[in-house]
Structure 1
Amino acid sequence: MATYAAKGMVATSHPLAAEAGLSVLKKGGNAIDAAIATAACLTVVEPTSNGIGGDAFALLWSKGQLYGLNASGNAPQQLSLQALKKRGYQEIPVYGWIPVTVPGAPAAWAELSARFGKLPLTDVLAPAIEYAEQGFPISPTVGGSWEISFERYSRDLKDEEFKHWFRMFAPKGRAPKIGELWSAPEQARTLQSIAETKAHSFYRGDIADRIDEFSKRYGGFLRKADLEAYKPIWVKPISVNYRGYEVWEIPPNGHGLVALMALNILNGYDFESKEVAESYHLQIEAIKLAFADGKKYIADPAQMSVHIEDLLSNGYAIERRKLIGNKALHPEPGHPPKGGTVYLAAADGEGNMVSFIQSNYMGFGSGLVVPGTGIALHNRGNNFSLDPKHVNCLQPGKRPYHTIIPGFLTKGNTPVGPFGVMGAFMQPQGHVQVIMNSIDYHLNPQATLDAPRWQWINGKTVEIEHSFPEHIAHELIRKGHDIRYSMDTPSFGRGQIIWRTTDGILVGGTEPRADGHIAPW
């Protein structure tokens, strides 16, 4: 059932984090303060998906305007194609120092707090610091993911630089068990330092020195100078009109553009007249075409070879739509005219609404933990290409193709609210399904998130959840799709939604595939 509230609401994948955000609202904070509190708390209570050493993006509505913040990090200035080829790399590895880019999450918290927050950052981060210091019981989804990560890291991470991860996250020689009390005092001290210095210590002070020293010791490329030069970017959100609603995403280097391109293609169909299987077929084909373009064209915006407005033009959507027939296709990019993530939603009684997402990527990230800090560093640089002809090719100071994307919905310059579905390359697909469930099929937020999901993998292969109707799966098979049931529930994403009704009432939905929770007020 959907959850209703009037004064405020926080929705995310962990109950303690959602309630932390609500507690800040009740202390006089606004939705921005609540979002930061929730995000910081998630680094503590759900380290399997995000951390202080990761990236973040935000869309927020305040005083009649939508703002976008890109807090993804750059590649270190010493990291280059030549440097990697000299070391014998043919592709970016998943673990270790090579895929580590500058973490952006702490800067995002400080930037959002300084521009839009009401409370001091020390008050906002207090719940996260308390849980890190005093401990909390491990929740079911987090415990399961932790065990999977521990088994994988035990098998794959044998080098000395990874010992700090095991000391931090497996001090008893195993992953903590579900319901077991867990604390992280080193992380508590780091969060306290970030709060007191407004993240200055992370990018220019003692924490930056520790990161620099750790990187140098094990042949990493990240330096204090890279941290000192970092600053999150305020960006103009991009959108398409979908049946009278504006669907908003962060522009590249994130791939929210993929969701918008797919919706633009789908705009040309009347789904009320379509059979259910036909509707799924069209959605799958649209996302395949959008991803084909996204993987070819999306990169650091300064490096992109095409204009975003051309990819989102109605003319280009018409051309791509013409490729969709009655049978599954192998997607190819078009030629436009030249011209382990957490998500949270927060709203308050003043009209502020926040869509916020942060991630370490692939669970805990790089497998590196900075000694004495509790900071697990992300591996977002793994998305770079080493093909010098590719638009997303690695360059010093460049931001990689990024998978984490917050979403926002408006209608007639009035906010409807934040939404998001975390989960790597599932995210644009989840956004499309959330929007269609809400707008085309008129489902409330909770029913929207409860609905069975599909996920295009590659070629004609589509994975579906075990709850997906069997007769529709057979219809899709007849249309040429390679349909496979999957028991990997986390791979289908974990979403949150908060809509504001025309009467000003907040209506929320939270993810049944996680330890999801809505904290209403």
Structure 2
Amino acid sequence: MQSNMAPSGMAVTPHHLASESALSVLRHGGDAIEAMVAAAATIAVAYPHMNGIGGDGFWLIVPPEGEPLAIDASGAAGQHATCEFYAGHANIPHRGTLAALTVPGTLSGWDEALKVSAALGGGQLPLSRLLADAIRYAADGIPVTQSQASATQSKYAELVDIPGFADTFLPQGNAPLAGSRFCQPKLARTLTQLATEGLESFYRGPLAQLIASEMQALGLPITAQDLANHRAQRRVPLKLSHSQGDIFNMTPPTQGLVSLAILGITDHLEMAQASEVQTIHRIVEATKKAFGLRDRYITDPRHVTLPVQSLLEQAPLEQLAASIDEQRAAPWGQGKGPGDTVWMGVIDKNGLAVSFIQSIYHEFGSGVVLPESGVLLQNRGAAFSLDPAHLLALMPGKQPFHTLNPAAARLKDGRTLVYGTMGGDGQPQTQAAIFTRHVMQGMPLQEAVCAPRWLLGRTWGQLSDSLKLEGRFSEETFQALRALGHEVEWLPGMSEATGHAGAIVRHTSGMLEGAYDPRSNGSAAGF
């Protein structure tokens, strides 16, 4: 496979309908931010098991000149979400009404990003135009992907009795077949109301009152006041000064630190000429070090105990690199587990670049669908701990930990790169694989995205925390990693467990190059 090239705009998403929505906005004079809002709306409809307007989102915006900007559009726990609320539970359930305890934040991120677009002199297309495709697809139906069909079938037993799930996702009481038409008329009405009244209406106004009343009727710990208090937050992104340029990622409560730390650690190792086994071993060992930082420090930014940027200074990264044993795998505990998400990238003709990620956490999130608005609610709050002494201890108004982290880089050779993936613990690992292969080792962009990948830990319902290799790796690579002490297992040859990745490069000529992941239903669409 070869990358797609185009001079005037490029969008990469894990669903081709979302790519086309973004491309249509670019063709009609919209900028990369407006195009991303259109893509985000469409994919919320077309990939409902992975994301939706009942979830959270994170933006990384890189203008042609000036400093990058991040937007944290993740919601906090509702005011009634206390440890007492979960009395009798050892952990917060991952499914059902008890799992839906945080404010859905992603729509606030769309709204805040459009304000950034206006400040940058964007095309300022009407919101109704940006949401038009999503409204049509929700009303008229989308073709069910194999990914949605498989997820519905595999999770049927644990979701079928959750309020609203069967009415929405089980037509005729069964999991839909791949290729069948799937309509979401209630969601279409809600999107239409948002297009008319504005994205803020989800949090304040008649629509917000409806949503709050639906939540209250289901016994959720989120109130109308929680919705009204929510705002997306602009952040200064984390930055890694790498030998190849500056790499950017999200601040807490996300694991953006992990993605940058892996690349910062391996930058002190020899990666350009590393063999396949050396590349995997070094990145996996760096991943273990970076996960250690994550699990010690990353939480709601108001509760972080040190400046996270300081962990990306060269001295601590070099020290971590020096502690890696080139001949033996370090012991490995347990990762954070699964996450179901979409990453998307857009770069426009002026060089405005956007790396964006949107999620409902597990497949179908909490499984709870609000009965009138048709909004599927995330279960991100299940990441909280009910131990009051834990770093991630639950408390009202606190943001949960997020695996989500969109990435971007300004390389020393003048190129701009946006890249990312879905996949829980796998996100920083796949980011490291793509960056290392393309930037450090010179692999063509599409090849770097398609090449066989690995996963240390779990995602998508994996039961073990082993090092998993896609089946396209050789038996020699498998056995060499095992000889180094890694507990290795095989995945299928092209496995969703390693994420739905993508990348866009803006070359110094202004030409745009996009690469999508054949593990997804995506495309790289340019003009």
Q: 1:68 aligns with which of 54, 67, 70?
A: 70
Shift in CA distance, 343/133, structure 1 to aligned 2, threshold 3 Å:
same
Alpha-carbon shift at residue 43 of structure 1 (Å): 0.8
Counterpart residue number, 1:269: 269
Alpha-carbon shift at residue 77 of structure 1 (Å): 1.6
Counterpart residue number, 2:213: 213
Counterpart residue number, 1:404: 404
Give CA-to-partner distance per residue, 1:191-223, whole Å, 9 cap, x none: 111122222321112332233223222322011
SS of alignment partner, residue 248 of structure 2: strand
Counterpart residue number, 1:336: none
Counterpart residue number, 2:36: 35
Alpha-carbon shift at residue 184 of structure 1 (Å): 1.2
SS of alignment partner, residue 159 of structure 2: helix
SS of alignment partner, residue 271 of structure 1: coil
Asked if residue 59 in structure 1 is aligned to residue 50 in structure 2, the reply is no
Counterpart residue number, 2:20: 19
Give CA-to-partner distance per residue, 1:344-390, whole Å, 9 cap, x none: 11111122111111011111100100111121000001111222222
Q: Which amino acid aligns with 2:233?
A: I
Give CA-to-partner distance per residue, 1:152-179, whole Å, 9 cap, x none: 423xxx3xxx231110111311122111
Counterpart residue number, 1:133: 139
Q: How does 1:425-464 map to 2 (within 5 A)?
A: 425-457=425-457, 461-464=466-469
Asked if the contact 1:106/1:194 (under 8 Å) is kept, the reply is no
Alpha-carbon shift at residue 29 of structure 1 (Å): 1.0
Counterpart residue number, 1:83: 85
* Distance in 2 between residues matched to 1:280 and 1:61, nearest whole Å: 30
Counterpart residue number, 2:108: 107
Shift in CA distance, 214/500, structure 1 to aligned 2, threshold 3 Å:
same
* Distance in 2 between residues matched to 1:199 and 1:485, nearest whole Å: 44
Alpha-carbon shift at residue 76 of structure 1 (Å): 0.8
Q: Which amino acid aligns with 1:347?
A: I
Q: Which amino acid aligns with 2:328?
A: K
* Distance in 2 between residues matched to 1:332 and 1:21, nearest whole Å: 41
Counterpart residue number, 1:46: 47
More moved, 50-59 vs 483-492: 483-492
More moved, 272-281 vs 286-295: 272-281
Q: How does 1:102-501 map to 2 (within 5 A)?
A: 102-116=103-117, 117=122, 118-154=124-160, 158=161, 162-325=162-325, 326-331=327-332, 340-412=340-412, 416-457=416-457, 461-487=466-492, 489-501=495-507
Any unmatched runs of 5+ in structure 2? 335-339, 459-463
Asked if the contact 1:113/1:121 (under 8 Å) is kept, the reply is no
* Distance in 2 between residues matched to 1:274 and 1:446, nearest whole Å: 20
More moved, 71-80 vs 450-459: 450-459
* Distance in 2 between residues matched to 1:303 and 1:148, nearest whole Å: 37
More moved, 470-479 vs 487-496: 487-496
Asked if the contact 1:31/1:354 (under 8 Å) is kept, the reply is yes
Asked if the contact 2:62/2:353 (under 8 Å) is kept, the reply is yes
Counterpart residue number, 2:514: 508
Asked if the contact 1:292/1:331 (under 8 Å) is kept, the reply is no
* Distance in 1 between residues matched to 2:397 and 2:414, nearest whole Å: 37
Asked if residue 3 in structure 1 is aligned to residue 12 in structure 2, the reply is no
Counterpart residue number, 1:337: none
Q: Which amino acid aligns with 2:350?
A: E
Alpha-carbon shift at residue 417 of structure 1 (Å): 2.4
* Distance in 1 between residues matched to 2:16 and 2:106, nearest whole Å: 21
Asked if the contact 2:71/2:232 (under 8 Å) is kept, the reply is yes
* Distance in 2 between residues matched to 1:397 and 1:70, nearest whole Å: 15
Alpha-carbon shift at residue 329 of structure 1 (Å): 0.7
Alpha-carbon shift at residue 308 of structure 1 (Å): 0.8
Asked if the contact 2:265/2:318 (under 8 Å) is kept, the reply is yes
* Distance in 2 between residues matched to 1:110 and 1:72, nearest whole Å: 13
Q: 2:523 aligns with which of 512, 517, 521?
A: 517
TM-score for the superposition, normalised by structure 2 = 0.92
More moved, 169-178 vs 469-478: 169-178
Q: Which amino acid aligns with 1:34?
A: A
* Distance in 2 between residues matched to 1:383 and 1:345, nearest whole Å: 26
Alpha-carbon shift at residue 75 of structure 1 (Å): 0.8
Alpha-carbon shift at residue 143 of structure 1 (Å): 2.9
More moved, 428-437 vs 480-489: 480-489
SS of alignment partner, residue 125 of structure 1: helix
Shift in CA distance, 332/143, structure 1 to aligned 2, threshold 3 Å:
closer
Q: CA RMSD in A?
A: 1.9
More moved, 2-11 vs 181-190: 181-190
* Distance in 1 between residues matched to 2:200 and 2:168, nearest whole Å: 24
* Distance in 2 between residues matched to 1:255 and 1:272, nearest whole Å: 26
* Distance in 1 between residues matched to 2:163 and 2:216, nearest whole Å: 16
Alpha-carbon shift at residue 415 of structure 1 (Å): 5.5
TM-score for the superposition, normalised by structure 1 = 0.93
Any unmatched runs of 5+ in structure 1? 334-339
* Distance in 2 between residues matched to 1:189 and 1:236, nearest whole Å: 36
Q: Which amino acid aligns with 1:50?
A: N
SS of alignment partner, residue 355 of structure 1: strand
More moved, 267-276 vs 73-82: 267-276
Q: Which amino acid aligns with 2:74?
A: S
Asked if the contact 2:297/2:305 (under 8 Å) is kept, the reply is yes
Q: Which amino acid aligns with 1:111?
A: E
SS of alignment partner, residue 247 of structure 2: strand
Counterpart residue number, 2:337: none
Q: Which amino acid aligns with 2:331?
A: H
* Distance in 2 between residues matched to 1:360 and 1:469, nearest whole Å: 35
Alpha-carbon shift at residue 273 of structure 1 (Å): 4.2
Q: Which amino acid aligns with 2:113?
A: L
SS of alignment partner, residue 388 of structure 1: coil
* Distance in 2 between residues matched to 1:315 and 1:465, nearest whole Å: 34
* Distance in 2 between residues matched to 1:413 and 1:300, nearest whole Å: 36
